[in-house]
């Protein structure tokens, strides 16, 4: 079996001079907003619904960044006590990361239609093996059944979910893909993240919207009550039917049901250890202004409605959706747990299981912000920490790994995408601008 050595775990980023932010250092109100120039490891932000500015569609603009090579001497910046290392390179389009029970790291390379296995060697190098090829924009990955001895690796594509027979240590699929879910909506937002409940009885599938704010749905159903009885409260229709939602299936792909609606584009789907609560890292809509509406990372309740396309962050109405206004939904919108600066584009999220990072960080969530394409000054392009207290998010988020923007900010050399935790408690994250997977370790004081 051919293995290619593609990365060396050499230290490339040591410590930022920024100290961890204390509670009194949390930026709130207008100061919670900013761009790449004000990002720094340790900075804590708390955006509240009342902090949102008025809608200003005139300020919206396309402002995509240029992706360049990493400049000489450039390295990710992180907090004191942490080190960022390169684990593997040359992984074009790398997105979602998942760690197998034996410690192997599985990664979806969406652009190349591949799922690869990254295995760290004793000499510090990493071998990369093709587990499966010929896929259609593979994204979400999940082992089934959950636990120490999975039998399958599930892979989500824009229009389907397939699975491959798997045993711990396999570096290559032993057989062809078996289709589990044959028909998911395609077009528009294509990322399909997946996750299993801890008992393995439920497969969750996130399906993003086709468009921005439901403008193409067409006329509303003649019997709206019947439509919502079949598809859930706040369910979209027309070309958006079954989208902007989290779906649930049995592990064999049967018994489809809508778990939650109004979640515009859940690109990162994770279940909280211990509670099995579903969480989504969600990209909100565009063209309402540079700082509106916030993206979010939130628990998602069964039967819940999160606003899209008629409302955002509570009762704030967006009148652009087809089919007329929906005042009946205003009091049913659930406000997300953690608001993230608009257009940051959260993609992946994972919970810290403990074992290496500071003890008080056990149970916190981490998320990757892929970066903006449609605001005057770029935001995102970093990894953030979401503190939890008593099992609940505090609403705050903290810059954890930054430094991927070069020069005047018009060029970036890293766009964080996937995140997970290795068996030793270190954190792994991918960035798809230059196809790199990084490892973040922590050295305890003393």
Give residue-wise pLDDT tens across range 151-191.
999 999 999 999 999 999 999 999 999 999 999 999 999 99
Position 60 pLDDT exceeds 70 = yes
Burial of 69 (0-12, 13-18, 19+ CB in 10 A): exposed
User: Which sequence spans correspond to the domains of the chain?
Assistant: 40-442
Nearest to 409 by CA among 7, 127, 21, 36: 36
Give pLDDT, residue 64: 83
C-alpha dist (Å) from residue 293 to 165, 253, 284, 302:
42, 34, 7, 23
Position 18 pLDDT exceeds 90 = no
N- to C-terminal Cα distance for the chain?
Answer: 43
CATH number, domain 40-442: 2.120.10.30
Q: How far apart are CA 27 and CA 399, in angstroms?
A: 12
C-alpha dist (Å) from residue 338 to 194, 300, 307, 387:
21, 12, 15, 10
Q: How far apart are CA 281 and CA 271, in angstroms?
A: 12
pLDDT tens track for 225-241: 999 999 999 999 999 99
Give pLDDT, residue 243: 98
Q: What is the mean pLDDT of the chain?
A: 93
The residue-averaged pLDDT of 273-292 equals 97
Position 12 pLDDT exceeds 80 = no
Half-sphere exposure of 24 (CA within 13 A, CB side): 0
Q: Which residues are registered as beta bridge partners of 399? A: 384
pTM across the whole model: 0.95
């Amino acid at each position: 079996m051919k293995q290619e050595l593609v990365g060396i775990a050499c230290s490339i980023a040591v410590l930022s001079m920024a100290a961890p932010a204390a509670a009194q250092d949390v930026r709130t109100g207008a100061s919670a907003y900013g761009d790449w120039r004000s990002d720094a490891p340790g900075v804590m932000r708390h955006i509240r619904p009342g902090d949102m500015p008025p809608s200003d569609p005139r300020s919206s603009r396309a402002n995509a960044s240029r992706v360049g090579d990493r400049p000489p001497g450039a390295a990710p910046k992180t907090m004191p006590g942490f080190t960022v290392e390169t684990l593997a390179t040359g992984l074009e389009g790398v997105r979602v990361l998942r760690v197998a029970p034996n410690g192997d790291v599985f990664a979806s390379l969406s652009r190349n239609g591949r799922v690869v296995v990254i295995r760290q060697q004793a000499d510090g190098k990493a071998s990369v093996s093709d587990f499966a090829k010929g896929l259609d924009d593979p994204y979400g990955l999940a082992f089934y059944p959950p636990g120490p001895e999975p039998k399958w690796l599930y892979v989500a594509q824009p229009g389907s979910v397939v699975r491959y027979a798997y045993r711990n240590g396999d570096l290559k699929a032993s057989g062809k893909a078996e289709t589990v879910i044959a028909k998911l909506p395609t077009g528009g937002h294509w990322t399909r993240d997946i996750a299993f409940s801890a008992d393995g009885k439920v497969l969750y599938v996130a399906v993003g919207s086709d468009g921005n704010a439901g403008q193409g749905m067409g006329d509303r159903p003649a019997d709206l009550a019947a439509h919502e009885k079949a598809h859930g409260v706040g369910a979209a229709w027309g070309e958006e039917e079954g989208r902007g939602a989290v779906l649930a299936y049995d592990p064999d792909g049967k018994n489809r049901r809508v778990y939650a609606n109004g979640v515009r584009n859940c690109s990162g789907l994770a279940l909280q250890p211990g509670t099995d609560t579903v969480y989504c890292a969600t990209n909100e809509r565009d063209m309402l202004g540079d700082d509106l509406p916030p993206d979010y990372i939130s628990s998602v309740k069964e039967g819940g409605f999160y606003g899209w396309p008629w409302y955002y962050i509570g009762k704030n109405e967006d009148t652009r959706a087809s089919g007329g206004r929906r005042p009946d939904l205003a009091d049913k919108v659930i406000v997300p747990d953690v608001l993230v600066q608009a257009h940051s584009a959260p993609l992946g999220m994972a919970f810290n299981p403990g074992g290496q990072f500071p003890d008080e960080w056990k149970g916190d969530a981490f998320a990757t912000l892929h970066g903006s394409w449609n605001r005057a000054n770029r935001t995102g392009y970093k990894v953030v920490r979401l503190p939890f207290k008593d099992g609940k998010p505090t609403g705050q988020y903290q810059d954890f790994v930054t430094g991927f923007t070069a020069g005047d900010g018009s060029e970036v050399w890293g766009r964080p995408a996937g995140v997970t935790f290795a068996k030793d408690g270190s954190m792994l994250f991918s960035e798809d601008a230059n196809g790199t997977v990084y490892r973040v370790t922590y050295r305890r004081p003393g």
